[in-house]
Structure 1
Amino acid sequence: MGTAKTRLYGGQSQEARVAERREKLMQAAAKLYGQAGTTGVSVTAICAEAGLTPRYFYESFASREELLLAVFAEVCEHLVADVTAAIDARAPADSALTAFFALLAEHPDLARVFLVETDHHDPAMLKVGRGMLARLAALIAPDVELPLARVGVMGAVLRIARFWIESDYAEPVAEVSALARRFVEAAR
């Protein structure tokens, strides 16, 4: 018996092409969700932004909700990874907070997906969000030992971030970070 050969199209395997199209759809959705909100964005609009037809949307996602969850999960992963990479060992909590707010300011579309446009009542969203919050709390509030205090700190940090985003980043990152730091310090 011979082994089956993988057929290439334009130098790519079928799996690579599917993954590439999925990524294009996620990038397009993140951009549009950040600009227009989640309710005002159709599958047709996402496909147009990605330069793909609806056939390819349904190849990767069963619904707009499934796509939103995938985008939210990816945004969370990147946010945690980028905050982790920016931590300065000399001042871990301070550098984590500064990185968190700086990333939100640098990527306003993704910030809206992360904090404003997602449905935090959907069970799947809640699961992804809770996991991300626990990881962010370990970075932002590493010295806060009581679980309820950590939840309170993260609630304060996220509410500050959401208000800041909705006010079009009215205050500089340093001021917002310093304010959030006060909540972390109070919870220790």
Structure 2
Amino acid sequence: MNRSYRGMSAEQRLADRRERLMAAAYTLYAKPGFTATTIERLCAEARISNRAFYECFGGREELLRAIHEQCVEESMAAITKALQDAPQTLDGQIKSGIRAYIEFTTADWRRARIMHLEVRRSGDVLTASRQRAVEMFARLIEEATIAYEPPPANLHLLSLAMVGAIQELLIEWVLADPAPSVEELVQVALLVFRRSFRTVDDGV
């Protein structure tokens, strides 16, 4: 029998605990970081017991993967919408996609740190998740540019290189003091993309 407690079913309580753990990890895994965050600290922040933690996640690593994948999904959704609304030109697609990703990522410092700093500091925990994300973003670049003029090099490799360039710019934004402005990041990324894809600013 599925008993309710304080008006919540067992499934609702589990979902509530999972959501609270995700919220706690989103902040703590960003700072002080994954390696410095214990299960006890996560539970204290989420106001649940250690036992309840293991009803939601198999460990800190599984929770980190869930947070990272959520960040990636939200970022992909933001870029996809921007590309759909963008002018249907090569430069229009590049400009809208880059701005959407950089602005969305930097809008929340926790998202930026998890996606571009903790993803590397966590060792092997996010290796597979990170690789999937890189492939997804590279494929998005390919799909957004393939309908236009032929690229000057292997499109898949060029797209991977563009993903790497933006990652390094965002790591600089996270770590530098003072940090470069978001507009500086966008303009540098645009310069790299335009030169790589042999396009010029068409004013859009």
TM category, shorter: 0.7 to 0.9
User: In the TM superposition, what is the alpha-carbon distance from 1:11 to its structure 2 partner?
Assistant: 2.8
Correspondence for 2:169: 160
User: In the TM superposition, what is the alpha-carbon distance from 1:9 to its structure 2 partner?
Assistant: 2.5
1:21-64 deviation line (CA, Å, top 9, x unaligned):
11110110110111201111111111111111111111111211
Q: Answer whether contact 1:96 1:139 (CA < 8 A) is retained.
A: no
Tell me, which stretches of 5 or more residues in structure 2 are unaligned? 146-150, 198-204
Residue of structure 2 aligned with 1:36, choices 32, 53, 77:
32
User: In the TM superposition, what is the alpha-carbon distance from 1:157 to its structure 2 partner?
Assistant: 1.0
Q: What's the Cα RMSD here?
A: 2.1
User: In the TM superposition, what is the alpha-carbon distance from 1:84 to its structure 2 partner?
Assistant: 2.3
Correspondence for 1:185: 194
Correspondence for 1:95: 96
With structure 2 as the length reference, what TM-score do the two structures score?
A: 0.80
User: In the TM superposition, what is the alpha-carbon distance from 1:169 to its structure 2 partner?
Assistant: 6.6
- Residues in 2 aligned to 1:114 and 1:168: alpha-carbon distance in whole angstroms: 19
Q: Answer whether contact 1:76 1:132 (CA < 8 A) is retained.
A: yes
Q: 1:121 to 1:38 in 2, by over 3 A?
A: closer
* 62-71 or 23-32, larger mean C-alpha shift: 62-71
Q: 1:147 to 1:121 in 2, by over 3 A?
A: farther
How many aligned residue pairs are there?
183
Q: Answer whether contact 2:138 2:156 (CA < 8 A) is retained.
A: no
Q: Answer whether contact 2:172 2:179 (CA < 8 A) is retained.
A: no
- Residues in 1 aligned to 2:190 and 2:139: alpha-carbon distance in whole angstroms: 14
- Residues in 2 aligned to 1:82 and 1:27: alpha-carbon distance in whole angstroms: 20
User: In the TM superposition, what is the alpha-carbon distance from 1:97 to its structure 2 partner?
Assistant: 1.2
Where does 1:40-79 land on structure 2 (aligned, <5 Å)? 40-79=36-75
Correspondence for 2:155: 146
Is residue 22 of structure 1 aligned with residue 18 of structure 2?
yes
Identity of aligned pairs, percent? 32
Q: Answer whether contact 2:33 2:118 (CA < 8 A) is retained.
A: yes
